[in-house]
Structure 1
Amino acid sequence: MTIPFGFQTYTWQMSYEKYRDQLDHILTTVTEAGGAGIEPEVCMLGRYTDTPLALLDELDRKGLRLSALCLALEWRHGEETEEERAEADRIIRYLKYFPGTILTLVQLPGKDRSDLVNRQSNALSNINAVAQRAFDQGIPCAYHPNSPSGSIFRVEEDYSVLLNGLDGRYCGYAPDTGHIAKGGMDVEAIIKTYRSMIKHVHFKDMNADGSWTALGQGIIDHKGIVRFLNGTGYDGWIMVEEESKGAESDPDQVTLQNGIYIREALAPLGR
């Protein structure tokens, strides 16, 4: 089995006002970069927000798959708000048109890490509730922690709380190599420790000073991670994104360059 590679739309989302309704353009760039699939955040669906069949047709025309769809909500309370539940259920219905597509769940980071234990408990209750409803509709889920300063699942102690608190019957883990490194952790160690929970993977690279950079130019051993995943029979996607200054100014170009690195350095290791 070959591990498929695709691209996450956050590379363009950093310039949101410019690309908020440019998914067709993004799909074309992903195709040119050699990606097999795409993972948009819900806010990047643009004209496809309420038309899953139209998106399915467009993906078919471009030879792409919707590898995942990312739902990012606040989940600050002990249970979902009415609005959060309605949005999650809408996306679950949307994904029924895309069998096998992963629903990645992300909590929007707060402005700080105050009231951490309570916020972590609330988030886990919400995440597990969404994942169970998705599971009941045949939609696989994975949670994706992030690393801004206000994230409540940011450092190794947080990961222990998170990954022991996810209900593994319904929700897996979507590691992001860049966010793991930004949280001061050993990327390979985290992926190896929680391998049994991994359903989906994000790659992005980071310099030693903590700044983001292009894939293959930073300190993270993505080649070693591909070898490890392949050797353990990983059958999910690897999605690439970039958050560097270059990505902010020219997301198309950095995606094309990352595509070259994937084809030359990473994809051969995933076969």
Structure 2
Amino acid sequence: MQRDVRVGCQTFTWEMLGNAWRGGPDDLLDAIAAAGYAGIEITDTMIGHYAGRPSAFAKALAARQLDLVAFAIGSDSGFTEPAMVDADLEDVARAITFAGSFPDALVSIGSATVMSPGERNAKFATAADFYNRAAALGQDAGVGVAVHPSSHHNTLLYDRADYDQLFGLLDENVGWVPDTGHMLRGHPDMLDTLRRYQARIRYLHLKDVDASGTWAMLGAGVCDTPAVVDIVTAAPRFNGWLVLEEESDEAAQDAAVAVRRNRETMRGLGY
């Protein structure tokens, strides 16, 4: 285990609750800090009243001894609609400005997703063009930009063939945030895929699924977490963060309890 590895928490665990979640960003920070995490990856949906206010968010983080790992963004375009690329890049620019106020924080961009009829290869081409231009904006500002693939409905990034197609179109400065749960749902060869694209890895999303692909609490499914961490921590551009995210039924019942249990699981593995 690398000594500089740190464990963060992703806020989608609460975002997935939809209208059942009545809290705000400060409630997230309190729960994540209380669970013993060192950092947070927060989404544009969950940033709440801190949107466009990085200085205020920095104070809120510091008060809880948390660091910002990444600012994550998505789009109704699925990043595959040519007419929306310019607007999506404006959102990226705002996210870069926000993340640039925090040392070493990245911008994580969601999975390319099919949102309208059309030829599949053209969707890949549009997504790749967008990701490449987004990463170039980040490079100019000194902020890393990484792609977070998915396994949800209509994603363009489900199985190994999808990863090969997209990554073959991406510039080398486009990073990758592998997600073990999403990968296990489409990659019997997950560890091989991690090794193949190891040079793109910036940090890791850790979550688990059972043998059927149903979300499970970390350690209760089929994810070989130690093997994954060994590969990721050896990546040349790995930034030291393991980010836990939970989407299981347990998290739907009580997100704060679920992320605390996951943190305890990682402590049991020595992290």
Q: 5+ unaligned residues in a row in structure 2: which ranges?
A: none
Q: Which residue of 2 aligns with 1:203?
A: 206
Deviations 1:65-106 (A, max 9, x none): 010111112222336444323222211211221131011111
How does the TM-score come out when normalised to structure 2? 0.91
The aligned length equals 266
Counterpart Cα distance in 2 of 1:180 and 1:57 = 35
Counterpart Cα distance in 2 of 1:71 and 1:131 = 13
Counterpart Cα distance in 1 of 2:199 and 2:83 = 27
Q: Does 1:191 align with 2:199?
A: no
Q: Which residue of 2 aligns with 1:76?
A: 80
Give the letter aligned to residue 176 of structure 1.
D
Tell me if the contact between 1:142 and 1:200 (Cα under 8 Å) persists in the aligned partners: no
Counterpart Cα distance in 2 of 1:82 and 1:112 = 18
SS in structure 2 of the partner of residue 153 of structure 1: coil
Q: Which residue of 1 aligns with 2:163?
A: 159
Identity %: 27
Query: Which range moved further: 224-233 or 178-187?
Result: 224-233
Q: Which residue of 1 aligns with 2:56?
A: 54
| C-alpha spacing 1:165/1:27, structure 2 compared with 1 (3 Å) | same
| C-alpha spacing 1:64/1:107, structure 2 compared with 1 (3 Å) | same
Give the alignment's Cα RMSD to 1 decimal: 1.9
| C-alpha spacing 1:49/1:20, structure 2 compared with 1 (3 Å) | farther
Q: Which residue of 1 aligns with 2:103?
A: 99
Q: Which residue of 2 aligns with 1:254?
A: 258
SS in structure 2 of the partner of residue 107 of structure 1: coil
CA shift for structure 1 position 164: 1.7
| C-alpha spacing 1:210/1:106, structure 2 compared with 1 (3 Å) | same
Q: Which residue of 1 aligns with 2:174?
A: 171
Counterpart Cα distance in 2 of 1:32 and 1:142 = 28
CA shift for structure 1 position 218: 0.4
CA shift for structure 1 position 232: 5.3
Give matches, 1:101-250, under 5 Å: 101-107=105-111, 109-110=113-114, 115-168=119-172, 170-231=173-234, 234-250=238-254
SS in structure 1 of the partner of residue 5 of structure 2: coil
How does the TM-score come out when normalised to structure 1? 0.91
